[in-house]
Structure 1
Amino acid sequence: MLSKTFFEVIQNEGVVSITSWGSGDQPNVRCTWNSYLRITKDERILAPIAGFTSVQGDVSKNDRVMLTLGSREVEGFNNYQGTGFLIEGRARFTDCGAEFEQMQKEYPFMNKLLEITVESAKQLL
Structure 2
Amino acid sequence: MLNNTIQRILTQEGPASFVTMGSDGPHMVATWNSYIQLNENDELLIPAGSLFQTELNIKQGSGVQLLIAAKGVQGMHGNGAGFLLKGTAKFENSGAQFEQVKLNFSWARAVMILHIREAVQLI
TM-score between the two structures when normalised by the length of structure 2: 0.95
Unmatched segments (≥5 aa) in structure 1: none
Question: Which structure 2 residues correspond to residues 94-109 of structure 1 after superposition, within 5 A?
Answer: 94-109=92-107
Match of 1:122 among 108, 115, 120: 120
CA apart distance, 1:50: 0.4
Q: Which residue of 1 aligns with 2:18?
A: 18
Q: Residue type of the partner of 1:43? A: D
Q: How many residues align?
A: 123
Residue 42 of structure 1 is matched in structure 2 by: 41
- Deviation for aligned residue 1:25: 5.8
Q: Distance in 2 between matches of 1:70 and 1:4?
A: 13
Asked if 2 retains the 8 angstrom alpha-carbon contact of 1:67 and 1:87, the reply is yes
Instruction: Report the equivalent of 2:3.
Output: 3
* Amino acid of the structure 2 residue aligned with 1:9: I
Aligned 1:28-107 pairs, distance under 5 A: 28-79=27-78, 81-107=79-105
Identity of aligned residues (%): 28
**Separation of aligned partners in 2, 1:11 and 1:122:** 19
Report the 3-state secondary structure (helix = DSSP H, G, I; strand = E; otherwise coil) of the residue aligned with 1:75. strand
Q: Secondary structure at the match of 2:13?
A: coil
Bigger fraction of residues in strand: 2
Q: CA RMSD in A?
A: 1.0
Tell me, yes or no, if the aligned pair for 1:63 and 1:92 is still in contact at 8 Å: no
Q: Which amino acid aligns with 2:16?
A: V
Structure 2, unpaired ranges of 5+:
none
Summarize deviations over 1:7-44 as a string: whole Å, max 9, x none. 1111110100010012x360100000000001112100
CA shift, 1:63, in A, is 3.7
SS in 1 for 2:73: coil
Task: Give the distance between the partners of 1:89 and 1:11, measured in 2 at CA.
Answer: 21
Separation in 2, partners of 1:82, 1:99: 30
Q: Distance in 1 between matches of 2:77 and 2:63?
A: 31
